[in-house]
Structure 1
């Protein structure tokens, strides 16, 4: 295997052997997917988005909280 960057003295190394590829996924127990409630589509979903972003959001000092924030 040749190193993509020319001018380097040492040969490139591969990170880890491929014999261990997929080890964690293979030893994780299989869990069946659970049925979820159907999400609203179209106008109804836009209504939920609007309420989530503008109506129920708490206005405070500092930076605005992101949509994936777990802070209360």
Structure 2
């Protein structure tokens, strides 16, 4: 799977969202997805970690890009 090529600012913001205890669960999950994609995680690994399907991954990968 291709990397997202995040800027340092984007990465820091997504990591902040991921650590947040006050953000909506959906936002945290999407932030984690983008970070996993940027790390080069496989689709199967992402689906196992986030308990999602490939449509979720494709949708948010496309929207973020």
TM-score by length of 2: 0.26
Higher relative contact order (CA 8 A, sep 6+): 2
Q: Which is higher, the Rg of structure 1 or of structure 2?
A: 1
TM-score by length of 1: 0.24
